[in-house]
């Protein structure tokens, strides 16, 4: 038994070390605390958070340089805020968007700039040139058909004029054929009736002239306007957009756009990351408290001692702060993935203390009571555990260090931090922990909670039915194996966020409607000719909806369109083209007179041919007359006048402006704000590639990305590419690291356990537990993502540690009934797992989806890992001495 | 030197005339409001003649005048849009003839009895070099006022009427919607047939 001889040799050195520590607990502890304070200081002052997902990727990836250049050339592209105005009608959306734009312009301390492309002077003036020739012709026909109506209302824009006109149409008086049947009279009557009713009821609704004049009379789903905000962000704060968002929400409430049919919502990268951070913080507050409570309860239950639990918690806190200090000094910042070292540290670090303290507890109860019992127990427990704890620390650290050489810096940095953390834990377990034990000398009364006889019988199962258990293990491995290739990494950052948050809901709606430039790919080009040929090639790709460059804002067939517009100007006449379309005031008396005339006219025409639409219009008019006869006549007149005609200005005002377009647009005519979005500060030309596929479906998005990359190569960058590359990098990093970890851990196990079979036995439950966890994830359709991927190395570390502890305990002998499951070691494994699960299982309740999924995987995976270790390892080891 | 100075004077003069077509130094007979007045005078005279004139007589007085003062080629283009250019030359001529017939018939049918009507000038609005709106007001015997806006264009230095907008309603827009619908569902001949039917119905009105 050379291993035992070696163990004894180490023991004497360990004993000297621990004797020294326990003799001078105060200076040792003081040194530990001083070092921790230093580390804490470093962490607070030096440790930054880089929440940019792209920062986690290898800097040598081809698109990284393009991305750097893109950010330098177009700084406004990132960190933008989208104000999304939604309303039942296009007119209400336009009016509300105008109001929001004005309000935003008045907030220069939180808004650098705001642009509303659709409502800009440039697009109002030239918008019609951006229609296709066919669309423009069709619009011309509709306007021509409506000319008699528009011509009248242009001269007098009020509800009385509208009623007079409808009356004349009903009587077919002006020239007999002045209202051609092209104009859908039933629809007009119906809408006017609706407008009257809405005005009388006081509902915020406008008669939509766009719908009325449009060819899509049935499409009554809401309208949307999008404003682009460049917000002032305070990067010194974790919630950089906090002030902006607070002011936005305050403005929204003031304008009454927070609820009701016309509403304003915010999304865009700044809002998304703000709400994500807020949900993480909210989640952390709640789950952190729950975790602390749960961990304390489990510790108290498992250790059955307040001072022992206190020692474990203090030891944990010291290690956590020291590790953070190391991260600050060595790396300087944590990223989205490495920030979860906290989770890792607590999950793994607590096991070292629990093993030590439970062993201490086991030994002190065998020791004769006396003043030196605690010291002796501390030393003995430390001596016994040096070998398994060191081996655990080394193998687990190896598992983490295996990530360091991978191309994915997010994971590589986590590997470095976590690997060092294991060393920190080991060191603390042999400095601060024994010092605290020597200082407090906790007496332990009573035995740890005993399992009842029934349960103790179950502990015999793996030994009594060894072959059945092992067979079951093999069957389970075979059953779980096919799930392995099904496991996905979900690199969509939207999927880790709170699915109910406003920014996520809104951006999903925009993406579904193809209205957001959120999942575009950007390509940077150097000159116009190159841009145009690239644009054409990208445009031809089946997964690309359209590729847009600055030149896309120069319409095609301008001469023909301008010719059409000129003709249209003659046909519609100067009144229609030149009107301002602002609602004219109308008195209650003249409105009542016009309403009466219309009722009469409708009655006559209905007598000739039964018309249901005009029937409902007559009823609405009668209601209006009653209101105009009442005490609030003036109010009713104003309200009805508004619902019927206030919608004209946003629609017809824009049309009138558009009809006056006379000159073709050249590149030099494009407005500065537009050029700025497409021509960089150093002259690079931007191409935006819009997907034609559902980018919320990862496979579709990947297909789109691959196609664009095949054409644009390293000139392309953007969210979908980052996601694809991040997914690849993570998957690659994990595969590579897994191989290295398995090789490294196996070699260490071989070197220390000196028996290939023993090493294989330690690794076997790891494989089984890991496979079962992955199978379970596939089964409940829970992919890995940026937030939960850390669970894998954590589970790996726990499983290796548990295996080592059981194997070494089995070798040490003196097992109750020869069953390793009845030892303090098995108990420590269960307590450690319960602490980790108790601490992190409640992450499942976090509003942040990524954090919640981490909680689920940890709880599930730990259970499977521990069961695999406790059931199958003893079955493999057999009954011991 | 003298030649170029003269040229400058002439071109400046034309430019002034172009900018101010209503009061320019060009021939008064060709000024847009004068053109409009010729039509209105003819209409009033027809009305004053009352029963002394038959429909045919009124038609005959108006038809040559309208041929002179209506930009009927432009009207064809504005009514038929891009299709106008694709018609045969003979088709375009046919349309112009029957359209003038229809216009004369419409005026002959509607302006046949005098009840104290009078036209008064309201304004002349210039809208670019070759486009002007002559705004007039018809006051009926009962005092009702109807706005007549003559949208005019200048071709070969002659001012001609493109359309008349009555209380905001453009005759050209109405015709365009009617004729294009027929053209889409049937053909050019059907449009001509429709116009001829309208003329007949005006005659029998």
| Chain B positions in Cβ-Cβ contact with residue A145 (cut-off 8 Å) | 173, 177
> What integer pLDDT is reported at residue A450 of this predicted model?
57
Least confident of A10-14, A179-183, A674-678: A179-183
Strands A333-335 and A489-490, by their bridges, are unpaired
Answer yes or no: is pLDDT of A779 > 60.
yes
Chain B nearest-CA residue for A561: B82
Nearest C-alpha in B relative to A176? B174
pLDDT at position A51 = 63
| pLDDT top residue among A449 and A107 | A107
List residues bridging with B147 in a β-sheet.
B137
Residue B136, pLDDT > 80, answer yes
Residues of chain B positioned with their CB less than 8 A from the CB of A140: 81
What percent of chain A shows pLDDT beyond 70? 90
CB pairs under 8 A between A and B: 88
Please answer whether residues A784 and A363 qualify as being in contact, where contact means their C-beta atoms are separated by less than 8 angstroms: no
pLDDT at A449 over 60: no
Stretch 35-54 of chain A: residues touching chain B, C-beta under 8 Å = none
Paired sense of beta strands A48-50 and A333-335, if any: parallel
Residue B11, pLDDT > 80, answer no
Nearest in space to B177 (alpha carbons), one of A275, A149, A398: A149
Q: Which of B77, B84, B138, B169 to mutate to test the interface with A (most CBs of A within 10 A)?
A: B169
Provide the 3-class DSSP secondary structure of residue A879.
coil
pLDDT at B5: 35
**In A, which residues are within 8 Å of B169 by CB distance?**
147-148, 151-152, 174-175, 178
CA distance B131 to chain A (A): 9
Is A151's CB within 8 Å of B165's CB? yes
Which residues from chain A sit within 8 angstroms of residue B81, using beta carbons?
Answer: 137, 140, 564, 567
Model ipTM value:
0.83
How many angstroms separate the CA atoms of A577 and B128, rounded? 14
Residues A575, B149: C-beta atoms closer than 8 Å: yes
Contacting residues of B for A153, CB less than 8 Å apart: 168
**Which one has a higher pLDDT value, B109 or A171?**
B109
By Cβ distance, the residue of A148, A180, A574 closest to B127 is: A574
pTM score above 0.90: no
Per-residue pLDDT band for A41 (boundaries 50, 70, 90) equals very high
Instruction: State which of A364-378, A803-817, B57-71 shows the largest mean pLDDT.
Output: B57-71
Q: Residue A140, Cβ neighbours under 10 Å: how many?
A: 21
CA distances from B175 to A84, A488, A668, B135, B167 (A): 43, 65, 40, 21, 16
What is the pLDDT at residue A699? 83
CATH classification (class only), A2-46+274-442+453-492+724-877? mainly alpha
Q: What is the pLDDT of residues A578-623, one digit of tens each?
A: 888 888 898 889 999 999 999 888 887 765 555 555 568 888 999 9
Average pLDDT, chain A: 83
Bridge partners, A395 (sequence order) = none
| pLDDT at res. A2 | 34
Are B169 and A155 an interchain contact pair (Cβ–Cβ within 8 Å)? Answer: no
Most confident of A487-496, A688-697, B157-166: B157-166
Smallest Cβ–Cβ distance between A178 and the set B74, B169, B181 belongs to: B169
Chain A hits for B74, CB-CB cut-off 8 Å, are 570
Q: Nearest by CB to B78, from A150, A571, A575: name it.
A: A571
Best mutation target among B102, B166, B168, B179 (most A Cβ atoms within 10 Å) is B168
- The answer to whether A151 contacts B170, with C-beta atoms less than 8 Å apart, is yes
Helix (H, G, I), strand (E, B) or coil at A206: coil
Measured distance CA(A834)–CA(A284) in Å, rounded:
20
pLDDT at A54: 65
Average pLDDT of the residues in A867-871: 89
Residues A748-758, mean pLDDT to the nearest whole number: 84
Residue A142: closest CA among chain B residues belongs to which residue? B177
Nearest to A177 among B78, B163, B174 (CB): B174
Mutate to test the interface with B, among A137, A141, A148 (most CBs of B within 10 A): A148
A 10 A CB-CB count for A484 gives 12
Strand order of the β-sheet with B131-139 is B118-126, B131-139, B145-155, B158-166, B169-170
Token digits of residue A506: 């809104």
A575 touches chain B (CB under 8 A): yes
> What per-residue confidence (pLDDT) applies to A25?
92
The 8 Å CB, 24+ separation contacts for B42-46 are B43/B107, B43/B111, B44/B111, B44/B114, B44/B117, B44/B118, B44/B119, B46/B107, B46/B108, B46/B111, B46/B112
- Contacting residues of A for B166, CB less than 8 Å apart: 174-175
Residue of B73, B82, B128, B170 to mutate, interface with A, max A Cβ within 10 Å: B170
Distance between CA A640 and CA A590 in Å, rounded? 13
Instruction: Give the pLDDT confidence of A284-326 residue by residue, as tens digits.
Output: 667 767 777 877 888 888 888 889 989 998 998 999 899 989 9
Indicate yes or no: CB of A571 within 8 angstroms of CB of B168: no
CATH number of B27-203: 3.10.450.710
Whether A151 sits inside 8 A of B74 (CB atoms) is no
How much is the average pLDDT of B68-84? 90
**Does residue A557 sit at the B interface (CB-CB below 8 Å)?**
no
Question: pLDDT tens digits for A396-406?
Answer: 888 788 878 87
Does A145 contact B at CB distance below 8 Å? Answer: yes
- Nearest neighbour of A567 by CB, restricted to B77, B165, B181: B77
Question: What average pLDDT does range B30-50 have in this prediction?
Answer: 89
- Sequence-ordered list of residues with C-beta below 8 angstroms from that of B55, at least 6 positions apart, any chain: B105, B108, B109, B112, B203
Residue-level pLDDT at B71: 92
Distance of CA A565 to CAs A135, A136, A175, Å?
A: 12, 9, 27
Task: Please state, in angstroms and rounded to a whole number, the distance separating the CA atoms of residues A599 and A120.
Answer: 41
Q: Are A57 and A234 in contact (CB under 8 A)?
A: no
Identify the pLDDT of residue B192.
94
DSSP per residue, A71-119: HHH-GGGSS-EEEEEEESSHHHHHHHHHHHHHHHHT-TTTEEEEE-GGG
Neighboring chain B residues of A567 at a CB cutoff of 8 Å: 77-78, 81
Q: What pLDDT does B1 receive?
A: 38
Distance from CA of B3 to the nearest CA of A (A): 35
Whole-number pLDDT of residue B152: 93
A590 touches chain B (CB under 8 A): no
Looking at residue A264, its pLDDT comes to 92
pLDDT score recorded for residue A336: 64
Percent helix / strand / coil, chain A, rounded to 5: 70, 5, 25
Highest mean pLDDT among A498-507, A716-725, A782-791, B140-149: B140-149
Nearest-CA distance A575 → chain B (Å) = 7
pLDDT for position A176: 42
Look at B81 and A564 and tell me if their CB atoms are within 8 Å: yes
Query: Under DSSP, is residue B177 helix (H, G, I), strand (E, B) or coil?
Result: helix
- Give the relative orientation of helices A2-23 and A432-440 as an angle to the nearest 10 degrees: 60
Domain residue spans in chain A? 2-46+274-442+453-492+724-877, 62-74+521-554+666-717, 80-123+222-273, 130-219+558-659
Q: Do A570 and B172 touch (CB under 8 A)?
A: yes
């Amino acid at each position: 038994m050379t291993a035992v001889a070696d163990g004894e040799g180490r023991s004497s050195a360990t004993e000297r070390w621990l004797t020294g520590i326990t003799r001078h607990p105060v200076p040792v502890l003081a040194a530990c605390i001083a070092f921790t304070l230093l580390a804490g200081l470093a962490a607070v002052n030096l440790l930054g958070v880089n929440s940019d997902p792209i920062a986690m990727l290898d800097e040598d990836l081809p698109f990284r340089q393009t991305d750097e250049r893109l950010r330098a050339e177009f700084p406004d592209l990132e960190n933008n805020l989208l104000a999304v105005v939604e309303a039942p009608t296009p007119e209400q959306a336009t009016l509300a968007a105008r109001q929001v734009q004005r309000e935003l312009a008045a907030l220069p301390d939180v808004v650098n700039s705001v642009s509303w492309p659709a409502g800009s002077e440039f697009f109002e003036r030239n918008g019609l040139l951006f229609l296709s020739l066919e669309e423009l012709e069709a619009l011309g026909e509709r306007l021509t058909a409506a000319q008699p109506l528009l011509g009248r209302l242009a001269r007098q824009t009020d509800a009385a004029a509208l009623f007079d006109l409808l009356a004349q149409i009903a009587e077919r008086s002006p020239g007999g054929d002045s209202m051609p049947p092209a104009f859908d009279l039933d629809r007009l009557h119906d809408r006017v009736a609706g407008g009257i009713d809405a005005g009388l009821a006081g509902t915020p609704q406008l008669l939509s002239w766009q719908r009325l004049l449009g060819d899509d009379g049935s499409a009554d789903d809401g309208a949307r306007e999008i404003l682009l905000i460049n917000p002032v962000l305070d990067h010194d704060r974790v919630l950089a957009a906090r002030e902006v968002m607070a002011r936005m929400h305050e403005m929204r409430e003031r304008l009454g756009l927070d609820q009701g049919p016309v509403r304003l919502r915010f999304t865009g990268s700044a809002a998304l990351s703000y709400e994500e951070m807020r949900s993480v913080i909210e989640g952390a507050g709640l789950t952190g408290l729950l975790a602390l409570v749960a961990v304390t309860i489990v510790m108290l239950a498992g250790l059955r001692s307040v001072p022992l639990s206190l020692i474990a918690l203090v030891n944990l806190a010291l290690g956590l702060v020291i590790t953070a200090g190391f991260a600050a000094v060595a790396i300087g910042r944590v990223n989205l993935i490495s920030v979860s070292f906290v989770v890792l540290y607590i999950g793994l670090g607590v096991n070292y203390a629990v093993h030590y303290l439970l062993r201490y507890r086991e030994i002190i109860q065998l020791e004769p009571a006396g003043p030196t019992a605690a010291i002796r127990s501390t030393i003995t427990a430390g001596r016994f555990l040096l070998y398994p704890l060191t081996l655990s620390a080394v193998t687990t650290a190896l598992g983490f260090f295996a990530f360091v050489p991978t191309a994915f810096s997010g994971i590589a940095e986590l590997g470095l931090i976590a690997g060092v953390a294991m060393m920190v834990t080991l060191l603390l377990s042999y400095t601060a922990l024994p010092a605290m034990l020597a200082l407090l000398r906790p007496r332990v009364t009573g035995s740890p909670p005993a399992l009842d006889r029934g349960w103790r019988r179950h502990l015999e199962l793996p030994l009594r039915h060894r072959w059945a258990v092992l067979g079951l293990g093999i069957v389970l491995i075979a059953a779980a194996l096919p799930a392995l290739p099904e496991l996905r990494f979900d690199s969509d950052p939207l999927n880790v966020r709170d699915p109910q948050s406003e920014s996520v809901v809104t951006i999903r709606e925009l993406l579904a409607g193809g209205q957001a430039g959120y999942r575009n790919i950007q390509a940077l080009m150097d000159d116009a000719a190159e841009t145009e040929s690239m644009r054409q090639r990208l445009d031809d790709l089946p997964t690309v909806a359209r590729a847009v460059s600055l030149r896309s804002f120069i319409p095609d067939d301008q001469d023909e369109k301008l010719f059409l517009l000129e003709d249209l100007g003659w046909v519609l006449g100067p009144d229609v083209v030149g009107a301002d379309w602002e609602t004219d005031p109308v008195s209650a008396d003249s409105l009542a007179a016009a309403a009466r005339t219309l009722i009469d006219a409708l009655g006559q025409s209905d007598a000739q041919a039964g018309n249901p639409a005009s029937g409902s219009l007559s009823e609405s008019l009668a209601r209006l007359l009653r209101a105009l006869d009442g005490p609030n006549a003036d109010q009713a007149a104003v309200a009805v006048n508004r619902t019927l005609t206030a919608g004209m200005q946003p629609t017809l005002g824009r049309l009138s402006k558009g009809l006056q377009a006379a000159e073709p647009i050249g590149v030099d005519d494009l407005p500065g704000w537009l050029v700025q979005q497409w021509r960089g500060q150093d002259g690079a030309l931007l191409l935006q590639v819009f997907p034609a596929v559902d980018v919320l479906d990862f496979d579709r998005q990947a297909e789109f990305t691959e196609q664009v990359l095949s054409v644009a190569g390293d000139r392309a960058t953007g969210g979908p590419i980052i996601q694809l590359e991040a997914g690849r990098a993570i998957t690659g990093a994990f595969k590579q690291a897994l191989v290295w970890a398995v090789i490294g851990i196996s070699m260490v196990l071989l070197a220390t356990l000196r028996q290939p079979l023993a090493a294989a036995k330690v690794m076997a439950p790891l494989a089984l537990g890991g496979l079962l966890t992955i199978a379970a994830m596939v089964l409940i359709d829970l992919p890995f993502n940026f937030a939960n991927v850390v669970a894998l190395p954590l589970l790996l570390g726990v499983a290796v540690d548990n295996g080592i502890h059981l194997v070494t305990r089995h070798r040490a002998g003196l097992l109750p009934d020869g069953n390793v499951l009845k030892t303090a070691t098995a108990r420590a494994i269960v307590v450690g797992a319960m602490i980790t699960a108790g601490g992190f299982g409640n992450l499942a309740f976090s509003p942040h989806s990524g954090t919640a999924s981490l909680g689920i995987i940890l709880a599930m995976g730990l259970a499977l890992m521990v069961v695999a270790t406790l059931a199958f390892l003893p079955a493999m080891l057999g009954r011991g001495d | 030197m003298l030649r170029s100075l003269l040229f400058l004077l002439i071109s400046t003069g034309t430019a002034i005339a172009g900018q101010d077509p209503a009061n320019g130094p060009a021939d008064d007979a060709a000024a847009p409001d004068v053109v409009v007045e010729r039509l209105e005078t003819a209409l009033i005279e027809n009305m004053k003649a009352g029963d002394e004139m038959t429909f045919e007589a009124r038609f005959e007085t108006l038809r040559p005048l309208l041929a002179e003062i209506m930009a009927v080629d432009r009207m064809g283009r504005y009514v038929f849009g891009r299709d106008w250019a694709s018609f045969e030359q003979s088709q375009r001529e046919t349309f112009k003839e029957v359209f003038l017939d229809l216009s004369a018939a419409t005026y002959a049918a509607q302006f046949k009895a005098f009840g104290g009507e009078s036209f008064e000038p309201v304004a002349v609005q210039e809208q670019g070099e070759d486009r002007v709106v002559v705004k007039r007001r018809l006051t009926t015997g009962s005092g009702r006022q109807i706005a007549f806006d003559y949208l005019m264009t200048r071709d070969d230095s002659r001012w001609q009427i493109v359309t008349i907008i009555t209380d905001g309603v453009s005759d050209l827009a109405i015709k365009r919607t009617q004729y294009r619908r027929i053209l889409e569902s049937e053909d050019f001949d059907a449009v001509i047939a429709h116009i001829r039917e309208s003329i007949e119905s005006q005659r029998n009105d």
